[in-house]
A and B are shown apart, each in its own frame.
Chain A
Amino acid sequence: MHTTAQIRLSHDHPRWDLAAVRRDFPALEQRVHGRPLAYLDNAATAQKPYQVIEAVARFYRLDNANVHRGVHALGERATAAYEAARERVRAFINARSAREIVFLRGTTEAINLLAHGLGQGMRPGDEVVLTTMEHHANIVPWQLLRERAGIRLRVLPVTPAGELDLDRLPDLLGARTRLLALTHVSNVLGTLNRMEEIVQIAHARDIPVLIDGAQAVPHLRVDVQALGCDYYCFSGHKIFGPTGIGVLYGRAALLESLPPFLGGGEMIRRVSFERTLFADPPQRFEAGTPHIAGAVGLAAAIDYLEGLDRGAAEKHERDLLAYATARLRELPGLRILGEAPRKAPLISFVLQGVHAHDLGTVLDRRGVAVRAGHHCAMPLMDFYGLPATTRASLAFYNTREEIDRLVESVRYARELLA
């Protein structure tokens, strides 16, 4: 790949032109409540660079047509762009074949598709193993399957420091275990799980592994072959792409054996009222007109990411995380959740005497955007005995000055509220 040399080169000389990067993101330039926006809610969704916004607009301006249908020029261009986006994603996560890449609405839909498809092969008493740190997107689809199919859910606990308790994993993987489904990076704690090791433990017992990569892909270079996982999913909007487009990766042989999810156009080979022959993957899982512009935008986001010096971007994120952690620790009564040695750049914290929701409101009035709440991870919140936390989640475009404003605003909130 032509970018490899560039990345390797930059690894040796990390340098990060923050001002130039920020100029690519128009949303970052605004003021809210009279203050410059400090956008620290990137784990919820990331802002979009001009390159993505323009790619989506250009598609609608010039190439808009349906895919895999029309024989006219626009139809050909749209189909070529859509399939080029699939190839772009393949290379991005190093899948073997573009046929292993299914475009869906996002991570949530990908997990629902798998719960539906894999669930058809499961019997009452079969088990799916999850972890305490899962997002609701990787809990609720399996609970719905439990209702339908009578499967059991088993849960790998986390340690107080916020890491998976891997010593317990072998005991949870038994003869009835049909799948291990877990997150790559915790959206609440930031913990980066030791995926290669986990996949090995599961594969030694012939148990397939699904990885929810929604919080990992924005920060790490993901290689599904190196991970060895069977399924991997992520959302475009968290990697600076459009909302409503996401990716399910599945090993070709596994996707081949999966039944369809939604029925409709695009996903068939031949239909009669007696019988329908389904298309091969990935089309089998892409019923109806897909989010073509979204796929184009996602490819543009990947182009953007890979055009950056990613080694330098990651170093900048690590520096920001260390800085933010140190600055927040200066504040008395503030407790950080999640102290794994390897973390994505996000910090969840609680402030004594101040509810996260009130803190979020005060920060907002000072132009600082954070997430306050349970982060769609209520079982994890229960584990910590907390109804809510405040989460500052960073991207490579954030600055130390924004961290300073976060810290100063938390101080202000404590004076006002505690």
Chain B
Amino acid sequence: MSDDYGELRDLYQELILDHSRHPSNFRAMPDATRSVEGDNPLCGDHLRLYVQLQGERIAEISFEGSGCAISVASASLLTERIKGTTVAEAEALFHRVHRLLTTGEEAADEVELGELAALAGVRQFPMRVKCATLSWHALRAALRDEATEQITTE
């Protein structure tokens, strides 16, 4: 295999591929406090995100659906990172991830990305940013209790 596809390898890092093949928290949650459906009409990605809130804390979070490696990995990473955070922390992370994916800007005082940093490669692929942000928009809608709405990236 030739090695001149650095950007592709940045996009499809092992961590991303692992999460896409074996996503964490990939299940329905019948007793969820809220659930939101997200669609990316461009490519047919479709997921449902479930959250269980205990006061201001996100006690449990899961998702199900189908999509490309980027959208599934992003949702999987999201659930791992968000579980146990407060609603305010989750909102801050939404903005942090959004900036990472669209501008690549880093700011010293921001919340820790952890493994979410693996999504940075998406920035080189503008057509794929919506795949990575789909679950994040669904999360935001769930936390704002816009659960009756369908979230779409369009």
Binding site for B on A (CB under 8 A): 34, 355-358, 361-362, 365, 372-374, 378, 381, 387-388, 412, 415-417
Contacts and interface: CB of A to CB of B under 8 A. Distances in A.
Given A365-B5, A416-B12, A417-B17, A388 B69 contact: no
A416 B5 CA distance: 10
Given A357-B68, A361-B127, A417-B17, A387 B8 contact: no
B44 A378 contact: yes
A361 B46 CA distance: 19
Interface in B1-40: 1, 4-5, 7-9, 11-12, 17
29 contacts: A34-B4, A355-B67, A355-B68, A356-B43, A356-B68, A357-B43, A357-B45, A357-B67, A357-B70, A358-B12, A358-B68, A358-B69, A358-B70, A361-B11, A361-B125, A361-B128, A365-B7, A365-B8, A373-B43, A373-B44, A374-B43, A381-B44, A387-B46, A387-B66, A387-B67, A388-B43, A416-B1, A416-B8, A417-B12
Given A387-B66, A388-B44, A416-B8, 15 more contacts: A34-B4, A356-B43, A356-B68, A357-B68, A358-B70, A361-B127, A365-B5, A373-B42, A373-B43, A387-B44, A387-B45, A415-B1, A416-B12, A417-B17, A417-B69
A417 B4 CA distance: 16
Contact of B131 (A357, A365, A387, A412): A357
Interface string B60-96: 0000001111100000000000000000000000000
Interface in B96-152: 125, 127-128, 131
Interface of B: 1, 4-5, 7-9, 11-12, 17, 42-46, 66-70, 125, 127-128, 131
Please indicate which of the listed interface residues A361, A387, A416 has the most CB atoms of chain B within 10 Å of its own CB: A361
B interface SS class:
mixed
A357 B68 CA distance: 6
Contacts of A374: 43-44
Nearest to B42: A373
Contacts of B66: 387
A362 B8 CA distance: 7
B43 A372 contact: yes
A362 B68 CA distance: 12
Contacts of A417: 12, 17, 69
Contacts of A412: 1
B105 to A, nearest CB: 24
A355 B69 contact: yes
B14 to A, nearest CB: 11
A355 B68 CA distance: 5
Most buried by A among B12, B68, B125: B68
